Structure 1
Amino acid sequence: MFYTYEEIDRLVSEDMPFFDLTQKLLDIKEKGKISFFTRKDCIVTASELIEKLAKKLELKVVFKEKDGRFVKAGSKLFEAEGENVLILWKVAQNIYEYALSVSTYVHEMTAKARKHNPNIEILTTRKVIPFTKKVALQAVIDGGGLPHRVTTTETILIFENYINLYGGWDKFYKNFEKLKHKSIEKKWVVEAKNFEHAKKLVEIGVDVLQLDKLDIETTEKIVEIAHEKNIKVISAGGININNVEEYAKAGVDSIVTTAPYFAKGADVKVVIESF
């Protein structure tokens, strides 16, 4: 994930825009060593970002666990040395605790789903917590998932709100072949409202059906007719680690979720010592 110098500076300045009053009053000038440990089993993520922060603060990176790796509770995630360890402390801890919760949730959700469908993918929505997109998406990837849509620019996804402004479903059905020819390198993903709507979308030959908040029985019926035409099916809406297995059993090809972004925070221990 690419971070600009401005983004790195902003992370630091949000926490310490001027100086550390406590450090000044204690007259701390010694160099220190800072180490980060996870108190829970987790999938490592954000270490590349923490390294960039450390280098920006002119710290020497002594150890960095590899992103995407599973580690046990008590494992060291990162270690650095230098004069500005107190500045790195809370900024890095906050990033780690959010990012690790996302990556680990995605990993666990994927494992549950793949017990029933080894080829299923867990995809995450654009409904990220504002200003966390890069951290969150990297965590999703390190956890074994992928973004469903990063922006509205790179994918086609038809919701009824588009159709309301386009002129209605009948106009869409009539013009679909022409629309496909305008974007021959893209897949057309269309949200189906119910079984009958899904049948019509299968008939006109969309590439992917997205099902939002449809029950398991209806999902299974749609999967059956869609797969007969080699059309993929995505389930979305309210799917989380507690019910993901039900949808995986229904045979969908991918699951779209927002749940990882709001997973319970990880627990990261920080130790600072003089040296």
Structure 2
Amino acid sequence: MLTPQIVDDVVSRALAEDAPWGDITSELLIPAEAQVEATLDAREPGVFSGTAVLLATMRLVDPAIRTTMHVADGESFAAGAVLATVSGPARSVLRAERVALNLLQRMSGIATLTARYVALVAHTDARIVDTRKTTPGLRALERQAVRDGGGHNHRFSLSDAVMAKDNHLAVLAAQHDGDVTAALKAVRAQLSHTTHLEVEVDRLDQIEAVLAGGVDTIMLDNFSLDDLRTGVAQVAGRALVEASGGVNLDTVRAIAETGVDVISVGALTHSVRALDLGLDVAFAAASGSPATAGVASAPAATP
């Protein structure tokens, strides 16, 4: 899903936004021949996501920048860990710094939060999945971060699956004299065998009519724990059961223990906190000079 073309497109647009006419600060203050080595440092623990983004940012700014990764996507790290080392022309590294950090901090924040949810339901068969509540233009990156955190992806876009929610059903039922089952059967008849059909319900008494329509997944939206257990028993394996609404770190374990198959969590992407990472200059030198200067940093980790 996260192809090189998508990564290059996102990064290119971010770079153009950040320096549409160049980086006048570095161009005025930093000699063209200056070289630096900088480390990507973790200022708090977390789960890493964004290798492809970091490599693309450095490459698109200047192919002369060399990037060495010391951590893999999906790998946990402690505060103080050195996650990557970049070296090359000082102007170029400084030009790439903020765009790389903005994207890496968000992706790693998503991966870290996702991993917390996944750990809380690990004793069950429930999957943690994301939603379409993503940052416009960054969905592919954010969905990759969810996978790096051990979660799974819901439909990527409106084009990928049929997912009828309350407003859809209200309109659809009106066209079939209130007969939801007939409406869903008509929808199913138009679908290919590879297209998934999911329907949302918000009451237990809606379940049978929806199941009779031939759905693949039924979403129980904002159900109490008792109603989730009852709903799972009522569905009895005739469709996948997804729980949605009211999901947070305090509630997800109990929701998973009701027996649902999928738990969708909008918070993974719509309100996540960026992880605190920094790109710190370890040394700087004029081209060809062994002299070093700059801010001391933690030594690079062994690749």
Residue-by-residue CA offset, 1:147-205 (whole Å, 9 max, x unaligned):
21210111111112122332437343124344323322233211112010113323444
Task: Tell me the residue number matched to 1:2.
Answer: 3
C-alpha distance in structure 2 between counterparts of 1:160 and 1:27, whole Å = 58
RMSD: 1.9
Task: Tell me the residue number matched to 1:63.
Answer: 69
User: Which of residues 262, 273, 284 is equivalent to 1:274?
Assistant: 284
SS in 1 for 2:128: strand
The 8 Å contact of residues 180 and 209 in structure 2, kept in 1 or not, is answered as no
The 8 Å contact of residues 48 and 67 in structure 1, kept in 2 or not, is answered as no
Compute the TM-score of the two structures, normalised by the length of structure 1: 0.91
User: Which of residues 233, 238, 245 is equivalent to 1:230?
Assistant: 238
2:18 alignment partner AA: D
The 8 Å contact of residues 192 and 212 in structure 1, kept in 2 or not, is answered as yes
The 8 Å contact of residues 117 and 249 in structure 2, kept in 1 or not, is answered as yes
C-alpha distance in structure 1 between counterparts of 2:187 and 2:110, whole Å = 37
C-alpha distance in structure 1 between counterparts of 2:40 and 2:210, whole Å = 51
C-alpha distance in structure 2 between counterparts of 1:162 and 1:131, whole Å = 26
The 8 Å contact of residues 188 and 214 in structure 2, kept in 1 or not, is answered as no
1:153 alignment partner AA: S
1:1-275 matched pairs, under 5 angstroms: 1-4=2-5, 5-29=8-32, 30-57=34-61, 58=63, 59-83=65-89, 84-115=92-123, 117=124, 119-168=125-174, 170-183=178-191, 184-227=193-236, 229-261=237-269, 262-272=271-281, 273-275=283-285
The 8 Å contact of residues 128 and 264 in structure 2, kept in 1 or not, is answered as yes
The 8 Å contact of residues 216 and 240 in structure 2, kept in 1 or not, is answered as yes
The 8 Å contact of residues 47 and 64 in structure 1, kept in 2 or not, is answered as no
C-alpha distance in structure 2 between counterparts of 1:199 and 1:240, whole Å = 28
**Contiguous gaps of at least 5 residues in structure 2:** 286-303
SS in 2 for 1:101: helix
Give the direction of change, closer, same or farther, for the CA distance of 1:28–1:243 in structure 2 (3 Å limit). farther
SS in 2 for 1:114: coil
C-alpha distance in structure 1 between counterparts of 2:142 and 2:28, whole Å = 36
Larger-gyration structure (1/2): 2
Identity %: 21
Compute the TM-score of the two structures, normalised by the length of structure 2: 0.83
**Contiguous gaps of at least 5 residues in structure 1:** none
C-alpha distance in structure 1 between counterparts of 2:213 and 2:140, whole Å = 37
1:274 alignment partner AA: A
